[in-house]
Structure 1
Amino acid sequence: MSQYTNYIGKPTSRVDGPAKVTGAAKYSAEFNVPNLTYGVVVSSPIAKGRIIKVHSKPVLKIPGVLAVFSHENVPNLAWFDRNYKDDVAPGGSPFRPLHDNEIKFNQQPIALVVADTFEVARYAASILEIEYEEEDHETDIELKRREGFMPGSGKTGFMPPPPPRGKPDKEWKKAAHRIEHEYVHGAQHHNPMELFATTTEYHADGTITAYDKTQGVYNCQQYISKIFGLSKKEARVINHFMGGGFGSGLRPQYQLFMSVLAALELKRSVRVTLTRQQMFSFGHRPHTLQYLKLGTNPDGSLAAVQHHALHETSRFEEYTENVVNWSGMLYQCDNVKLGYQLAELDVYTPLDMRAPGAATGSFALEVAMDEMAYEAGLDPLDFRIRNYAEKDQNMGKPFSSKKLRDCYHQGAAKFGWDRRNPRPRSMREGNMLVGWGMAGGVWDASQQKAAAKAVLTADGHLKVTSAAGENGTGTYTIMTQIAAEYLGLPIEAVTFKLGDTDMPEAPVQGGSWTAASVGTAVKSVCEAIGEKLFKLAQKMKGSPLKKAKFEDVEFVNGQIRLRHDPNQSVVIKDVLQASGKEQLEANTSAMPNYLKQMPYSMHSHNAVFAEVKVDEDLGTVHVTRVVNAVAAGRILNAKTARSQVLGSVVWGISMALMEETVMDHKFGRYMNHNYAEYHIPVNADIHDIDVIFVEEEDDIVNPLGVKGIGEVGLLGVAAAITNAVFHATGKRVRTLPVMLDKLL
């Protein structure tokens, strides 16, 4: 077997790494296009009310200021049709910046100042005077407990909780052991390193190219095309690199609208970059209240599960998440009742944030399971294995594959769980109380429609393109590996390009479906090139493949050779040269195989084991060890996959101990909207993290057998840490984050 084959699964270094470390990789605010101007957004200081007057004349007199855009002078746009939606919009009517004088939430964008230089634009924006009429607002979900409502037309992918099964109320009351508690986390914001920015290049023919920070260039193209009445040829969107997104870039954000609006009106190129404070103004993981009741039979089997969630949404959209459904699926129980409600507040619509719904729901469920284990006198790991679900009871379907039991066993063995003393406050090192906790997780394994194009040139170089996204997860690399694998080329002979609406369409990069979706399209298009090569090879003089069928050959080491006789082969370069063709080209589109998938429930799983050390006097918590065992089908690149899970664990530590966006309800404003006061981990907070990939084969989920790992790696981490804190201290914390004031 050649050094060039079997790229899939190997820990390959990032092909885009050199561009990133040398600065050659350009991000959205780094395209220095000709005739560039700068726009600065002005945000509302009130949470609800109306704009009386925008005093733009004094600002327009400042040398270098080109325009002040507000609702008073924005032209009539196509998006005033209230049926307009972007690809991932929730139910309702999306927010339209500069649409009218109504203020819907604090920090709402209400004006854009454009100038020749960024410094002038920023100064002019800082002195722009605006008169408001303030109205009473509501931003506290605690006051909406009795006003929750069932969502109507939710976003794509929302699954309403299944109807109750069995007799959950009766069986809970009869249970030998019972718990009943509320679990809470406040709003959390994505906070990627790269600020949201759009550089819109205006061309002499009236067309534009928008270099936008986004997780979906086609979604943004559709957005601006509809709003401004542009054809797709007139509005190109590009994003080659993204400095973190975590879901914040799934929807087009308002700086894109502002930049395109100004460019079309001024007929100049315009860059709009949001500030760190403004990054808190367009979506977040919603503040959520969860109520769980669990009961067990005398043998430790679950007798009843009840899980209800209430979380916030804006007044103009119904943002929904699958929060409670996991509780009817992860463990075997015949008596289950799940409930889900929304509460309207004067805030911007929440937004998908890594493992949306599951990160919230699994935290509450897995802490409740830990409490239930203690109540029933069982080891938390044994309790979960005792209630292992062999099928998805929500859907009444078997799993396409499920290796969660292996995750439990392999993770526990690596962590040393069998050495755990179950009694709280029983383990210590000097003045540090030591706690061990564990939790599990489940996430959807899904595939979306995607397309790809491949061009193989006579010099043996393959170029593959698809308008996918790259959040830093390794998309460039794994797609290059797939292409090299299926055409038997050295990885250096393959180039993969992404993030451009001039390329074949791909879905937004989210939901852990990029590898499955775009990867399948890349596999398909390379196979199409392979078939064309094979037919040409058969026509070569003296070809050893003349009488072979396509299924009889393999592409290895730059050759097409017979499977049963590898010595009978032709060199790929020679095929094109002999045919007289300069290149071969193919375009394909890949769709999920719904007939094959329909009978199954398709998910990835994980088990997390965490060690904490808590200072007995100060209450400070240190996460000293984490083992995360993940079953996510075929692993395409062990190196980039491990990095994704490492990032997930870091975020789980952050979610458990640090992250909280604090709302001052008097002003309806997030008060810690900066990196100084919105706490996230630094290097000193992170210690030993072990990642285990449990072997799992699944030919049902997609032709590559991949399930995605970006989301599932986060699940269980916050709960495992919270459970470890209880084991260390004997204090049960049910509200995130677990800060020292809750332990003193």
Structure 2
Amino acid sequence: MTDYIGKPANRVDGAAKVTGAAKYAAEFTAPDLVYGVVVSSAIAKGKITRLDTSTALALEGVLQIFTHENRPNLAWFDKNYQDEDAPPGAPFRPLYDEKILFSMQPIALVVAETLEIARYAASLVQVEYETETPTTNLEANRAQAYIPKKYKAAEPSPRGNAKEAIVQAPVKTDATYFHTSEHHNPMEMHASTVIYQPDGTLLIYDKTQGTQNSQKYISKIFNLSPAEAHVVSPYVGGAFGSGLRPQYQLFLTVLAAQELKRSVRVMLTRQQMFSFGHRPATLQQVQLGAAPDGALQAIIHENFSETSQFEDYTENQVNWSAMLYNCSDVHLEHKLVALDVYTPLDMRAPGGVTGMYALESAMDELAYELKMDPLELRLKNYTDIDLSKDNPFSSKELRACYQQGAERFGWSKRNPTPRSMREGKNLVGWGLATGAWEVKQQQASAKAILSIGGKLTVSSATSDIGTGTYTIMTQIAADTLGLPLENVTFLLGDSSLPEAPLQGGSWTAASVGTAVQMVCAQIGEKLFSQARSIPNSPFAKAKFTDIIFANGQMQLKTDPMQALSILEIMRQSGLSSVAGEATAKPEAKQKKYSMFTHSAVFAEVKVDEDFGTVHVTRVISAIAGGRVLNPKTARSQIIGGIVWGIGMALEEESMLDHQFGRFMNHDLAEYHVPVNADIHDLDVIFVEEHDDIVNPIGVKGMGEIGIVGTAAAIANAIYHATGKRVRELPITLDKLL
């Protein structure tokens, strides 16, 4: 079989991962490798007045301790070099000066012959500070909020006169929703291993979602050519956005390797993983106005989100309220509050999961005010036009998501009255929410080489953070040239490979996948050109559009028996290999449409009436995500997103002590995430959706959509179960009792 797209193929990298053959950034080694341990600041704001490293340096095996007092004078310290994913502002520069900008800021790097010596020496570094009171409370500092000069995407724009319309609306709701900061916590901690080569060049193994971004960042800072800073990241143990920007361990590792002319490894501790980017704490006020029949007359969505003192990090948190429902009067506002924390960072479905939580909770509240079924309210305000841009959607099978999800869930059996459904001591609640995520295609390139032995190698500098990129790219290549899956190898995670965007935004399948399909088609065209010239060729009078590749052969579409094997074509043409390289770019026609993945999430909760414990017993997520390349890996993406949505709704909370400006639960013992006992019946429906606008493959991406809407559906189900509306995530026992 060579028809692979749309089939549930096993992960091609699965065996390497389960046997330990897959190596991660901190597992590569070299002769005479030395180890670096980061010393973190004990305060959140102020400055270092004394830094004594003498005791630590006196330890046998300690090679050097780098601080702001002895670091080399790099050009970067003067020019504010930014990485590809940096928001506006001045990026954090480790070891720049004595100032402390956030808690656990890296203030020194201890390098020693062994990890144990480095760790012990780090504990001997003595630091004295002049402390200032940190500002870390979002709600208490709302008065200092400001409108950023630049948004990550389009600035939210109003339409109509929502403030007047809300006053006139017969039915209205007004509520404020809050969620705390959350941290990514991937299984693999951030690490870099820099191999110092005999010729002075660097082979850098980094935990990253973009090897070329890390390479450009390092090259700028240390004035290195691409050949002098080769970045490799074949496997990534989860990232979820935390690897989009180069983190400070990469800079520190390269600095140490350059200065010591030694191979160096630095891996952050789990506690230090809480010292950089996170999902920002966010406060949102949503006002909805409607006619008695449920038709929306006004939407006001105002947002306050945290950022650091040195960069303006923004997310598209309010834009969803302008495009999801049919409403002529909409007012949106997104403001930032600068706090003494590290700059927030993209975290799975950034902005979407936050903004949709507030909007979909507000829609549920409006449904109860109207005494209307929450599903009926959404259908009442359904739109096939993105009114924020006045564009049609390239495709939108959200109605089918509602219908198929509701049918499988049994939504029609729901008693609409809160606290009306019971099972023993448990109150049972059913809730739903809509999800959406923007579809994008970025420019990407791929290279392919087909050998006379029938082996195809395709490559691109993209990443695989666990999403299944290795597998789906292998499927696309095998499908395009009609080769067995086992005859195709896909290479990624290497800065020397053809250019690819960061792996994020759910755009990898669309962007890199299109480039892979293009380059394989290019190989096919070269084979076809040769095949036409072979004596007695069945393709002598054919056009390229008349043939297909299947089972290792080139065949006529009208008569598959008229065929030549790829091997025979190459042999008779005297070819030892066929190579090609292609670059895929977004097509101009995309600008005329709004392109989104959509979902309908249905959740069931059971709440113990006495103790307030919540169990999410069922979740059904119906997804309209264009063409599904691999239902098996796609389902895993959605299930993973649902699990994270359960965590967001009930457990995940980075707790800031505002007196010290520090995240206090900075480990996996106290930062709670869902475990097996929390997860019950999860189901995914892939709604059929054809879209030839988004990209030639018709794929929309599944990385983000699984989490969007899940927390809102659970929060809405909890209200239905208990009659108590909790507007602050996570919904913990104390908030329900």
What is the TM-score with the length of structure 1 in the denominator? 0.98
1:516 counterpart residue number: 510
Specify the SS of the correspondent of 2:325: coil
2:697 counterpart residue number: 704
Aligned equivalents of 2:321, 2:495: Cα separation in 1 = 39
Aligned equivalents of 1:189, 1:541: Cα separation in 2 = 64
2:667 counterpart residue number: 674
1:219 counterpart residue number: 213
**2:94 matched to 1:100?**
no
Of the three residues 308, 326, 337, the one matched with 1:343 is 337
1:432 counterpart residue number: 426
1:114 counterpart residue number: 111
What per-residue deviation string (whole Å, max 9, x for no partner) do you get for residues 371-393 of structure 1? 00000110000010001122001
What amino acid is the match of 1:490?
P
**2:78 matched to 1:78?**
no
Contiguous gaps of at least 5 residues in structure 2: none
Aligned equivalents of 1:458, 1:280: Cα separation in 2 = 51
Structure 1 stretch displaced more, 140-149 or 699-708: 140-149
Of the three residues 570, 579, 593, the one matched with 1:600 is 593
Aligned equivalents of 1:225, 1:394: Cα separation in 2 = 40
1:554 counterpart residue number: 548
Aligned equivalents of 2:709, 2:486: Cα separation in 1 = 39
Aligned equivalents of 2:28, 2:413: Cα separation in 1 = 56
**2:173 matched to 1:179?**
yes
Aligned equivalents of 2:139, 2:163: Cα separation in 1 = 25
Structure 1 stretch displaced more, 548-557 or 216-225: 548-557
What per-residue deviation string (whole Å, max 9, x for no partner) do you get for residues 38-92 of structure 1? 0000000101111122211221110000000011111111212434210010000
Aligned equivalents of 1:124, 1:152: Cα separation in 2 = 44
Specify the SS of the correspondent of 1:598: helix
CA contact (8 A) 2:476 2:516 kept: yes
Aligned equivalents of 2:144, 2:123: Cα separation in 1 = 39
2:255 counterpart residue number: 261
Aligned equivalents of 2:78, 2:357: Cα separation in 1 = 40
Question: Post-superposition, which runs of at least 4 consecutive aligned residues in structure 1 deviate over 4 A?
Answer: none
CA deviation after TM superposition for structure 1 residue 552, in Å: 1.2
2:58 counterpart residue number: 61
**2:712 matched to 1:695?**
no
1:242 counterpart residue number: 236
Aligned equivalents of 2:430, 2:150: Cα separation in 1 = 42
Aligned equivalents of 1:82, 1:347: Cα separation in 2 = 22
2:34 counterpart residue number: 37
CA deviation after TM superposition for structure 1 residue 153, in Å: 3.1
CA contact (8 A) 1:322 1:357 kept: yes
**2:154 matched to 1:159?**
yes
Aligned equivalents of 2:223, 2:161: Cα separation in 1 = 55
**2:628 matched to 1:631?**
no
Specify the SS of the correspondent of 1:317: coil
Alignment of 1:716-727 (within 5 A): 716-727=709-720
1:487 counterpart residue number: 481
Aligned equivalents of 1:78, 1:506: Cα separation in 2 = 27
CA contact (8 A) 1:82 1:93 kept: no
Aligned equivalents of 1:112, 1:503: Cα separation in 2 = 32
> Over the residues paired in the alignment, what is the CA RMSD in angstroms?
0.8
CA contact (8 A) 2:133 2:659 kept: no
2:402 counterpart residue number: 408
What per-residue deviation string (whole Å, max 9, x for no partner) do you get for residues 451-478 of structure 1? 1000000100000000111011100000
Aligned equivalents of 2:76, 2:582: Cα separation in 1 = 33
Aligned equivalents of 1:82, 1:431: Cα separation in 2 = 63
What per-residue deviation string (whole Å, max 9, x for no partner) do you get for residues 628-673 of structure 1? 0000100000000000000000000000000000000100000000
**2:614 matched to 1:621?**
yes
Of the three residues 181, 185, 202, the one matched with 1:191 is 185
Alignment of 1:470-619 (within 5 A): 470-593=464-587, 595-619=588-612
Of the three residues 448, 459, 463, the one matched with 1:465 is 459
Aligned equivalents of 1:12, 1:513: Cα separation in 2 = 21
CA deviation after TM superposition for structure 1 residue 541, in Å: 2.3
Aligned equivalents of 1:390, 1:580: Cα separation in 2 = 55
What amino acid is the match of 1:29?
A
Specify the SS of the correspondent of 2:256: helix
Aligned equivalents of 1:432, 1:20: Cα separation in 2 = 41
**2:7 matched to 1:10?**
yes
CA contact (8 A) 2:506 2:700 kept: yes
**2:390 matched to 1:396?**
yes
Alignment of 1:279-298 (within 5 A): 279-298=273-292
Specify the SS of the correspondent of 1:479: helix
What amino acid is the match of 1:632?
G
Specify the SS of the correspondent of 1:210: strand
Of the three residues 708, 712, 726, the one matched with 1:715 is 708
2:412 counterpart residue number: 418
What amino acid is the match of 2:399?
R
Aligned equivalents of 1:627, 1:338: Cα separation in 2 = 31
What per-residue deviation string (whole Å, max 9, x for no partner) do you get for residues 131-154 of structure 1? 211122211112211111011134
CA contact (8 A) 2:235 2:465 kept: yes
Aligned equivalents of 2:306, 2:235: Cα separation in 1 = 32
What amino acid is the match of 1:15?
V
CA contact (8 A) 2:53 2:124 kept: no
Aligned equivalents of 2:343, 2:368: Cα separation in 1 = 38
Aligned equivalents of 1:364, 1:637: Cα separation in 2 = 32
CA contact (8 A) 1:184 1:290 kept: yes
What amino acid is the match of 2:178?
V
Aligned equivalents of 1:699, 1:626: Cα separation in 2 = 30
What amino acid is the match of 1:474?
G
Contiguous gaps of at least 5 residues in structure 1: none
1:132 counterpart residue number: 129
Of the three residues 634, 638, 643, the one matched with 1:650 is 643
What per-residue deviation string (whole Å, max 9, x for no partner) do you get for residues 667-717 of structure 1? 000000000000001000000001000000000000000111111111110
CA deviation after TM superposition for structure 1 residue 287, in Å: 0.5
Aligned residues: 737
1:447 counterpart residue number: 441
CA contact (8 A) 1:463 1:496 kept: yes
Of the three residues 365, 374, 392, the one matched with 2:359 is 365
Specify the SS of the correspondent of 1:588: strand
Aligned equivalents of 1:33, 1:578: Cα separation in 2 = 46
Structure 1 stretch displaced more, 142-151 or 245-254: 142-151
Aligned equivalents of 1:258, 1:189: Cα separation in 2 = 22
What per-residue deviation string (whole Å, max 9, x for no partner) do you get for residues 275-311 of structure 1? 0000001100001000011011122101110000001
Structure 1 stretch displaced more, 385-394 or 130-139: 130-139
2:679 counterpart residue number: 686
Aligned equivalents of 1:22, 1:541: Cα separation in 2 = 49
What amino acid is the match of 2:274?
F
What amino acid is the match of 1:739?
T
Aligned equivalents of 1:508, 1:190: Cα separation in 2 = 17
What per-residue deviation string (whole Å, max 9, x for no partner) do you get for residues 345-391 of structure 1? 11000000000001100000101000000001100000100011220
1:743 counterpart residue number: 736
Structure 1 stretch displaced more, 49-58 or 105-114: 49-58
Aligned equivalents of 2:496, 2:212: Cα separation in 1 = 9
CA contact (8 A) 2:426 2:607 kept: yes
**2:88 matched to 1:91?**
yes
CA deviation after TM superposition for structure 1 residue 576, in Å: 1.4
What amino acid is the match of 2:61?
G
